[in-house]
Amino acid sequence: MNREKINIGINSEIGVLEGVILHTPGSEVENMTPNTVQKALYSDILNLSVAGNEYSQFSGVLDKITRTFQVRDLLRDILHNDKVKTGLVNRIADHEKVDSIRDVLLDMDPETLTGAFIEGVELERDNLSRFLSKERFELEPLHNFFFTRDASIAIGDQVFISKMASRVRDRESIIMESIFDYHPSFNTQTVNPSSSRHMCRDFSYEGGDFLVAREDIILVGTGSRTTPKGIDFLVDQFKKDKTVKHIIVQELPYEPESFIHLDMVFTFLDRDLCMIYEPLIMHLSRFLTIHITIDNGKVKICEVLNIPSALRSLGMDIKTINCGGSRDIVTQEREQWHSGANFFAIAPGKVMGYGRNVNTLEEMDRHGFAIYKAIDIIKGKTDISSSEKCVITIEGAELSRGGGGCRCMTMPVKRAHVEW
């Protein structure tokens, strides 16, 4: 294994990928029942064997083309440090009010404790109240952790630790903060909003709502997961910079749940190309697009027409491709629901997405993208360097039911510089 330390560096969505954190879904996904689906933030339960096969296509491509890290490995590594282990156990036990298993967790070896933090700890029915409890777990499994995008956000050389909208996901952020603070593979400064002047009950932000368009431009969605207060925190951070920064904010509907994050309706494909859910991004509606400029500590806010026009005004000559194609809104709605706009770039013009969204892929084909199957990349049957633009498709019939796509399942830590 290459142990060379990575200096965190994310200044675009499309630069050649040089490092990414993944989490292969495990038994924490199977530890979900129809009765706990809503609490776990899902709309259905997943079949792990099917989802696992699909995920192996996804991770197999990334393992082949870039440096990958697995959350489980990173967490286990830092738990060999007794000081880190004790601090993390105490922080999680205090936050989740599970003092009864604090000593049990402290006595676990790093491998077992890693499993407990991710897969949960079952409730021991050793008294009457526990015996009668309807709960199965003392420490809940992290059903959503394979969506590694959300719990932390790399912007430039810093990592912002997310304040999740749902308490059930807080442990993901705690774990990611510890990994970035203590694992020898990463060199960065973490930014935790816990002491922010904006912190209040209505304060949250998650990684799926943040896109780094260019070194000086950040796109942020605001809706059910990222609140205006969370974006105000980002503005405060950028006030410290001497360079001009732009934040383009897109309001998102609270329903349906497929609009959970901005990257479900907008992702970058190339220097001059993006994928959009056209009815929301381009049509005039009650959902505002807002341009925030931060210049030498001063903040200017104005409403703009839409994200692409705002980017064009800043020198990014962006063209759009429609999720679901351009024939009818029903097809667009269906494919957006299954993460048809959620693409992950591994290099300029080279992206990954779900193969099930055939109308979206046909539209990309019309725009010059070659369509490759992940399995053919893994087996060496196809060389992505032979095409200037391509889509690598993974089978996503089961994974997409979890409510996210390829971008959702990645936490990039380093990308190469992009020549604009």
* pLDDT per position as a tens digit, 102-125: 999 999 999 999 999 999 998 888
- Return the pLDDT at 406: 97
What is the pLDDT confidence band of residue 1, given thresholds at 50, 70 and 90? very low
- Return the pLDDT at 27: 86
pTM here is: 0.94
The phi, psi pair for 218, rounded to 5°, reads -120, 130
What is the tens place of the pLDDT at every residue in 267-309?
999 999 999 999 999 976 689 999 999 998 899 999 999 999 9
* Residue 242 and residue 296 in contact, taking contact as beta carbons nearer than 8 Å: yes
Question: Beta 158-161 vs 189-191: how paired, if at all?
Answer: parallel
Which of 195-199, 341-345, 400-404 has the least mean pLDDT? 195-199
| Average of per-residue pLDDT across 185-199 | 87
Which of 75-89, 153-167, 184-198, 290-304 has the least mean pLDDT? 184-198
Percent of the chain with pLDDT over 70: 95
* Residue 352 and residue 392 in contact, taking contact as beta carbons nearer than 8 Å: yes
Which of 35-39, 163-167, 174-178, 224-228 has the least mean pLDDT? 35-39
Average per-residue pLDDT for the chain: 92
Domains, the chain: 7-30+44-70+201-415 (3.75.10.10)
Q: Is the pLDDT assigned to residue 369 strictly greater than 80?
A: yes
Angle formed by the axes of helices 170-182 and 82-96, nearest 10°: 160
